[in-house]
Amino acid sequence: MSDREFAGTTYFFAAESAAAPVSESPRSRMISAIKAGDEQAFGDFYREFAPLVHAILLARLPRHEVQDIVQEVFLAAYRHIGSLRDENALGGWLARIARNYVVDHYRAARPADELTGDIEGKRDLRLEASEALDAIRSLPIAYRETLVLRLVEGMSGNEIADLTGLSPDSVRVNLHRGMNLLRKSLGITGKKG
Amino acid sequence: MNNDYLWDKTGNDADIERLETLLSDLRYQPVAPPTLVQKQLVFEPRRTWFRRSLARILAGGVAGVLLVGVWFLISRRDISNETTPVSAKDTQVGAITQAPAKEGNVPRSDPEPVKTVYLPERKAARRVIAARAVAAKPPRRPERLTRQERYAYDQLMLALSITGSKFKAVSDTINRTED
């Protein structure tokens, strides 16, 4: 969102309290700084949202390619940050860039299978992790991303809602439905620990 | 199954905890953010203002054309309404009039009423406009020539008559030759 547009959206409030300047949220300050070319702000942005992008990519792409693409996604986001209109939708906007990157990746990439833990000669635990990840990847996309954020990145429901821009209720529904499907898929009975 | 654990990690759920442990190896490992090349600091300029002003200009143009069109139609309709029944006065100038046939050469100033013919609206309107245009023209004044102009005019006429007679002589000669 350009300054002019932003000024348009907040004009009403600014006119009411002309003496007191409109208080910017930390996130909007960060975005303004990134637009101004502040590398420190970009670093903060990267650290805050890298797990989100990582989870979105991991839900779709082979593991060994994810890290590089995370960086590419952030560079693309940096180049196009001028097109961000709603600063509150930063997470959703970044997630969309990441998803587009996945589409481009599949369009351009040669078919390749992910190396499993078995081929790499790792322990059974690694293999089990790969199987669990495969099971998550077989779920509908809405559940897939939310579950990766929860189970792989270790975020709470509120953190997921805050980063993705989804409502907490939507996240809760996605988590529970996705988890039920995952349990069925992995043959877990759902016993309390 | 404990829904709270799934939502905010309160309580416990052995299955989910196990899955978390399994999948923790795949978790994002923090690395340094990518280095920004100076070239990337150039942002794409937004052209919203340009698109908006273009849209406004286009909208204004369309509205203007519509207004002119409506005005034109209304004015045309007014003229038509005004002149649809062609009056006796108008018919003397331009409309088709039918004078009594048997009377022959009846002068225009004849007091006998002239039969009015109702033309289609547009035709009548056009005739009335033409008639008004003719009526509006100022009467032509007789031209007055200066002495020099009069002399030049006489000379021109003389030259034309001489040329004409010469042409006639040539023409006669040719005709005779042919005979």
Q: pLDDT band at A51, cuts 50/70/90?
A: very high
Residue A28 pLDDT exceeds 60: yes
User: Comparing A92 with A24, which gets the higher pLDDT?
Assistant: A92
Can you tell me the distance from the alpha carbon of A117 to that of A122, in angstroms, rounded to the nearest whole number?
5
CATH topology of domain A25-109: Rna Polymerase Sigma Factor; Chain: A (1.10.1740)
Place of tokens 């560079």: A75
Can you tell me the distance from the alpha carbon of A57 to that of A146, in angstroms, rounded to the nearest whole number?
12
Model pLDDT for residues B119-143, shown as the tens digit of each residue: 567 777 777 777 777 777 666 666 6
User: Comparing A4 with A101, which gets the higher pLDDT?
Assistant: A101
3-state secondary structure of B120: coil
Residue B113 pLDDT exceeds 90: no
User: Comparing B78 with A193, which gets the higher pLDDT?
Assistant: B78
Average pLDDT over residues A149-165: 92
- A187 Cβ contact list (under 8 Å, min separation 6): none
Of A78, A172, A179, the CB nearest to B40: A78
User: Comparing B50 with A52, which gets the higher pLDDT?
Assistant: A52
Is the distance from CB of A58 to CB of B26 less than 8 angstroms? yes
pTM of the model: 0.53
Residues of A in contact with B46 (CB under 8 A): 2, 82-83
- Inform me whether the C-beta atom of residue B14 falls under 8 Å from chain A C-beta atoms: yes
pLDDT at A12: 36
Q: Over the range A150-185, which residues count as b (16 or more CB within 10 Å of their CB) and which as e?
A: bbbbebbbebbbbbbbbeeeebbebbbbbbebbbee
Average pLDDT over residues B104-120: 55
Residues of A in contact with B30 (CB under 8 A): 47, 50
Range scoring the smallest mean pLDDT among A163-177, B19-33, B45-59, B121-135: B121-135
Q: Tell me the pLDDT of chain A averaged across its residues.
A: 79
Which range has highest mean pLDDT (A107-111, A117-121, B158-162)? B158-162
- Inform me whether the C-beta atom of residue B20 falls under 8 Å from chain A C-beta atoms: yes
Average pLDDT over residues B42-70: 81
Helix (H) or strand (E) holding B156: helix B147-178
- A78 Cβ contact list (under 8 Å, min separation 6): A34, A42, B36, B40
User: Comparing B60 with A10, which gets the higher pLDDT?
Assistant: B60
Residue A2 pLDDT exceeds 50: no
Question: Looking at CA atoms only, how far is residue A13 from chain B in angstroms?
Answer: 23
Classify residue A186 as left (phi > 0), alpha (psi -120 to 50) or beta. Answer: alpha
Average pLDDT over residues A33-46: 89
Model pLDDT for residues B18-28, shown as the tens digit of each residue: 888 888 888 89
Considering the four listed CATH numbers 3.90.1150.10, 1.10.10.10, 3.40.1280.10, 3.40.50.1100, the one that applies to the domain covering A122-193 is 1.10.10.10
Residues of B in contact with A50 (CB under 8 A): 28, 30, 33
User: Domain coordinates of chain A in residue numbers?
Assistant: 25-109, 122-193
Classify residue B154 as left (phi > 0), alpha (psi -120 to 50) or beta. Answer: alpha
Q: pLDDT band at B13, cuts 50/70/90?
A: confident
Residue B106 pLDDT exceeds 80: no
Q: How many CB pairs under 8 A join A and B?
A: 108
Can you tell me the distance from the alpha carbon of A142 to that of A32, in angstroms, rounded to the nearest whole number?
30
Residue A7 pLDDT exceeds 50: no
* Phi/psi at B115 (5° precision): -75, 130
pLDDT at A6: 40
Range scoring the smallest mean pLDDT among A17-26, A47-56, A143-152: A17-26
What single-letter amino acid sits at B81?
A: N
Cα–Cα separations (whole angstroms), residue B57 to B46, B62, B63: 19, 9, 10
Q: Considering only alpha carbons, which residue of chain B is nearest residue A130?
A: B23
Q: pLDDT band at A125, cuts 50/70/90?
A: low
Question: Looking at CA atoms only, how far is residue A45 from chain B in angstroms?
Answer: 9
Q: Tell me the pLDDT of chain B averaged across its residues.
A: 74
Can you tell me the distance from the alpha carbon of A66 to that of B31, in angstroms, rounded to the nearest whole number?
13
